[in-house]
Amino acid sequence: MIFFINAQMPEKKSGIEHAQLKRLKLFNKMHREARIVLRDWSPETHRLTALAGIDDEHVISMFDYYQQAMHVENKIVTPPDLDLGVENLKFSSDFDHQRYLAETIDGQLVARINVDIKDDHVLSTELFDGFGNLYRVDHYDSRGFISLSQWYTPDNQIGTEEWKTPEGRVAIEAFTRKNAQGEMKQSAWKLTTQAGKVYQFDTIEELTKHFFDDLNNDFWSETQPNIYILDRDHLGDWALLNMEKPAYRVIHLHNSHATDAQNPMHSTLNQHYEFALKSMDRYDAFISATKKQTQDVRARFQPKTHLFTIPVGIVPEQLLNSKRVAVKERQFGKIVAFARIAWEKHLDDLVRAVALVHQVVPEVTLDLYGYADGSNNYEARRLVEEVIEANQLEDVVKLKGYTTDIDKVENNAMMFGLTSRMEGFNLAVMEGIAHGLISFSYDVNYGPNEIVEDGVNGKVVPYGDYEALAQAMIKVLKDPQLAQKYSTGAYDSAERYSDENVWHAWEELLQDAENCWPDKLKAMPEYRGEVRK
């Protein structure tokens, strides 16, 4: 079995989630068994995975696994269905806060019931004791059962958390205590199996390691290894290294391995990858999405472990074979960007470039698609808005928010802009060229300076030079033949990311896993004739 490990599958997805979904679809098409593994708990897990097109057979949540909730029939629980342990309750609506209040006939508050206003199904209940103190909050899984109960301390802090089976048995507990500084911190985890066996762990990392071991045993085969591909390192880099039985363990680099992507050989390591990079040769493989990053990782670390270059993006056959839209049929001067409005995307530079283009080509417009990062009180969005205001571009640059209607937007636009400080691949620019968009990018590591082929499907300008970016755009806007040449080049270059080409790259890693498996088996104590303690 092949496991793609992530935290969750949120409604607003990052590039990692989009990459996993494309990868799972590819593996299903090629008839290779794979599962998306989610380490973190959410009451919305199955609603969100279904929304993303993943059926329950292809997702394993660590909490669901131990809660015996992998496959649960959906049901709707509304306030009248609740048994709050008190008779003759009266319910009153508090729609301003999307909840109901449950009170005794003499007005004592028993519970606040938080609901989804669309259909009144219960999201959580806040329970109060006879003195009016909050003592427990029950969180309902989207499928209609209490999944998590949080017990509160007298000073209104979460003391103990219990994750339950649909039948109400406590499967996982997390205990919180005050540390030496008086801060409430998780101090232990407890797992109780269906058979009644109890395990205790100091950290969630130890619980994660136990979970990986259980998955390894469930899908164990002596003919081929289970393959663990860790897409977010902090979720299990240590856990992978400490598994009881062998498996093929892979770290996927989704971003620059160095904090300064333009100085990958000497700048400090990206903290998300630091542990894994310093332990490289204990893993079986590392994946980079671009040839350049693979080369840089090899040059800096000189690892013995195997390095693979596998694009995280895949352009589906349907898109590759769809009707091409000529430049003259598109909205002249329409630039789009699909990216989170975040520090690393540096979109204020793209707006500065558009301001210069607008002085020469007044028809130019820019639409920014993506949700705003809330860091530092939405600093990145505020910087973008300041540049818009300073250059009086309110009618030129629009913040469109998050969208899934990419085909319609990109078949109408003419150009794609990218001014990131760092990247790991950039699915958005790959999708842009697949729609025939002419791309303009800084020479930034990693991804854009490979996906955008200078003089073929767009222009790559020196890193940080938004004036050069503007001039490149102006040149294309003033030359219809050049614009069509680049658009045709974009469509043609997207073939690099076809199912077939990306699958060939994956086949190399899968073959490597099979090749090394006999030696891994021989290293096991059972195969050496040793008795395991």
pLDDT tens digit sequence for 207-231: 999 999 999 999 999 999 999 999 9
Of 2, 54, 24, 4, nearest in space to 502 by CA:
24
Name the percent of the chain lying above pLDDT 90. 91
Residues 6+ apart with CB under 8 A from 121: 76, 77, 78, 115, 140, 144
pLDDT tens for residues 12-57? 888 899 999 999 999 999 999 999 999 999 999 999 999 999 999 9
Of 260, 289, 272, 398, nearest in space to 337 by CA:
398
CATH number for the segment(s) 2-71+207-309: 3.40.50.2000
Mean pLDDT in residue range 428-439: 97
pLDDT tens for residues 459-506? 999 999 999 999 999 999 999 999 999 999 999 999 999 999 999 999
Residue 532 binned pLDDT confidence (cut-offs 50, 70, 90): very low
Classify residue 372 by its DSSP letter: B
Residue 243 in this model has a pLDDT that exceeds 80: yes
Question: What's the distance, Cα to Cα, between the start and end of the chain in Å?
Answer: 27
- Burial profile 430-463: b = 16 or more Cβ within 10 angstroms, e = fewer: bbbbbbbbbbbbbbbbbbbbbbbbeeebbbbbeb
Tokens of 234: 């902090």
Mean pLDDT in residue range 432-443: 97
pLDDT for 181 equals 83
CATH number for the segment(s) 79-205: 2.20.110
Tokens of 305: 């472990």
pLDDT for 178 equals 83
Cis peptide before 446 (omega within 30 of 0): yes
Between strands 397-401 and 415-418, the pairing is unpaired
Residue 95 in this model has a pLDDT that exceeds 90: no
Is the full-model pTM beyond 0.85?
A: yes
Residues 6+ apart with CB under 8 A from 488: 324, 436
Residue type at 306 in one-letter notation: H
Residue 533 in this model has a pLDDT that exceeds 70: no
Residue 359 in this model has a pLDDT that exceeds 90: yes
Distances (CA, A) of 239 to 204, 212, 228: 10, 8, 11
Mean pLDDT in residue range 132-160: 96
Residues 6+ apart with CB under 8 A from 180: none
Residue 526 in this model has a pLDDT that exceeds 80: no
pLDDT for 276 equals 97
pLDDT for 142 equals 96
Q: Do 2-71+207-309 and 317-496 share a fold? A: yes
Name the percent of the chain lying above pLDDT 70. 99
Residue 528 binned pLDDT confidence (cut-offs 50, 70, 90): low
Rounded Cα distance, 270 and 289, in Å: 16
Mean pLDDT in residue range 140-152: 97
Q: What is the mean pLDDT of the chain?
A: 95
Of 24, 93, 98, nearest in space to 59 by CA:
24
Hey, where are the domains in the chain? 2-71+207-309, 79-205, 317-496
CATH number for the segment(s) 317-496: 3.40.50.2000
Is residue 419 within 8 Å of 395, Cβ to Cβ? no
pLDDT tens for residues 261-289? 999 999 999 999 999 999 999 999 999 99
Rounded Cα distance, 316 and 323, in Å: 14
Is residue 84 within 8 Å of 102, Cβ to Cβ? yes
Mean pLDDT in residue range 341-355: 97
Is residue 230 within 8 Å of 5, Cβ to Cβ? yes
DSSP bridge pairs for 94: 99
